[in-house]
Structure 1
Amino acid sequence: MDAKALKIEAARAALGYVEDGMRLGIGTGSTAEEFVRLLAVRVEKGLKVIGVSTSERTEALCRELGVPMSTLDETPELDLTIDGADEIDPELSLIKGGGGALLREKIVAFASARMIVIADKSKVVKHLGAFALPIEVNRFGLKATMEEIRRESESLGLSGPLVLRIKDGHPFVTDGGHLIVDASFGRIPDTRALSRALHDVPGVVEHGLFIGLADLAIVAGSNGIETLHPVDAS
């Protein structure tokens, strides 16, 4: 199977966890979009759900395909969020934000009773960090914020390029009006320590480490679907 076919199979398996009447958080990215397309078919056949999107892009696709939508203000408690990931480790800690929606993705995940991650096998890693960590930052004081991110990461033994994300020749702007710095740290030995350090930087709005949020990962590979549960690091 090619990558797209694997994403479709993971999305199809996740759809089996969606029950009638659910309040559903719907993620962002190519795998999440395959889930939206499959969900829309079920909705057309009579499945009753209400969705809350993690990005304007997902919102537009859901409305185009006829998936009923709400907002997190109107529906502040969700039953289930289904979203993709850029990396998944054995604890089901994640790196997310390759699509630029990490802040809203994390808010929606926190509002959900459960989170299921869908991905192809290439996203499963032993240690997070090969994928550059997206860090959403305020526009004000960008250089000072990047320097403080550098200092905090170096204090944890992490180094590597910090690159402002550019799209079409201009800084990429998130749905919330922020910028994204992609941090190529390489292997991150202590994700929790890095999470705390980044949150201590005033200009950091949020980062793409999702720790303790995913309850299940549905991973599609050449040998079929694999369901992963968190491995206790202790």
Structure 2
Amino acid sequence: MTNEDGKRRAARAAMRFVEPGMIIGVGTGSTVAHFIDALGERRGDIEAAVSSSEQSTRLLRQRGIEVVDLNATGELALYVDGADECDPQRCLIKGGGAALTREKIIAAASRQFVCIIDPGKRVDVLGRFPLPVEVIPMARSHVARQLVLLGGQPVWRDGVTTDNGNWILDVHNLRITDPPALESAINQIVGVVTVGLFAARRADIVLTGEAD
């Protein structure tokens, strides 16, 4: 089974959580694109979607799914998104697609967070994938110095601007044995918008797209 097969299988499996009349939170990335394809096949069943990125908004609208603002919906029943890494406690690293802030907002506003990944994203300890941190542009150097003090090696993702108009630092060489503590510490750095650790609000269910 290829990674693409695993992504497609996980995305299709997430459809079992979609109920008629739902407004669904939809994440970003290649695995989520398969989920959006599946949603499009049942677009008559769902009321609308809340999107975490301009990219996903375009895909949803191409498939005839209305996209609405989170401020108009209240709490969502379901959020479906992928991840760059997932540990055995369902803590995640997200943000490879630079949509981490909107993803974190929608996850926080949802009763159930279903994460869909191919089996290669499973790890025992988070940190092999560089940890994305969204920063206010003028704070980039300051935040980078603070991240070095936390033991990481931050690299500016040059040429990338988030949908919120901010920049991304990718933090290498971390072994994240206490994800909630590191998430809290990085979020306290002045100039950080948010960090791509989903530990305080981790996934409720992880579908790995394996054959069984």
| TMscore range, shorter length | over 0.9
Match in the other structure for 2:155: 163
Match in the other structure for 2:169: 181
Query: Are the counterparts in 2 of residues 117 and 217 from structure 1 also a CA contact under 8 Å?
Result: yes
Question: Could you say what the CA RMSD is over the residues aligned between the two structures, in angstroms?
Answer: 1.1
Number of equivalences: 211
Match in the other structure for 1:17: 17
Shift of residue 71, structure 1, vs aligned partner: 0.8
Structure 1 CA distance for aligned equivalents of residues 188 and 6 of structure 2: 38
Query: Are the counterparts in 1 of residues 52 and 106 from structure 2 also a CA contact under 8 Å?
Result: yes
Match in the other structure for 1:38: 38
Q: 1:8 to 1:67 in 2, by over 3 A?
A: same
Match in the other structure for 1:213: 202
Match in the other structure for 1:26: 26
Query: Are the counterparts in 2 of residues 85 and 95 from structure 1 also a CA contact under 8 Å?
Result: yes
Deviations 1:160-186 (CA, angstroms, capped at 9, x unpaired):
x210002xxx2x100000000000133
Deviations 1:3-30 (CA, angstroms, capped at 9, x unpaired):
1121111100001110001121001000
Structure 1 CA distance for aligned equivalents of residues 173 and 95 of structure 2: 15
Match in the other structure for 1:119: 117
Shift of residue 132, structure 1, vs aligned partner: 0.4
Task: Mark the structure with the bigger radius of gyration.
Answer: 1
Match of 1:59 among 53, 57, 60: 57
TM-score, with structure 1 as normaliser: 0.87
Query: Are the counterparts in 2 of residues 80 and 116 from structure 1 also a CA contact under 8 Å?
Result: yes
Structure 2 CA distance for aligned equivalents of residues 83 and 21 of structure 1: 19
Structure 2 CA distance for aligned equivalents of residues 35 and 189 of structure 1: 31
Secondary structure at the aligned position of 1:81 is classed as strand
Shift of residue 118, structure 1, vs aligned partner: 0.3
Match in the other structure for 2:99: 101
Structure 1 CA distance for aligned equivalents of residues 100 and 64 of structure 2: 25
Match of 2:179 among 191, 205, 208: 191
Structure 1 CA distance for aligned equivalents of residues 177 and 202 of structure 2: 19
Identity of aligned residues (%): 41
TM-score, with structure 2 as normaliser: 0.96
Residues 85-96 of structure 1: matches in 2 within 5 Å?
85-96=83-94
- Is residue 132 of structure 2 the alignment partner of residue 134 of structure 1? yes
Query: Are the counterparts in 2 of residues 129 and 184 from structure 1 also a CA contact under 8 Å?
Result: yes
Structure 2 CA distance for aligned equivalents of residues 115 and 141 of structure 1: 31
Secondary structure at the aligned position of 1:220 is classed as coil
Shift of residue 141, structure 1, vs aligned partner: 2.8
Unaligned runs of 5+ residues in structure 1 are: 226-234
Secondary structure at the aligned position of 1:48 is classed as coil
Shift of residue 140, structure 1, vs aligned partner: 1.1
Structure 1 CA distance for aligned equivalents of residues 126 and 17 of structure 2: 27
Shift of residue 196, structure 1, vs aligned partner: 1.6
Match of 2:189 among 201, 211, 225: 201
Moved over 4 A (4+): none
Query: Are the counterparts in 2 of residues 133 and 185 from structure 1 also a CA contact under 8 Å?
Result: no
Structure 2 CA distance for aligned equivalents of residues 23 and 218 of structure 1: 21
Unaligned runs of 5+ residues in structure 2 are: none
Stretch deviating more after TM superposition (69-78 or 56-65): 69-78
Match in the other structure for 2:4: 4
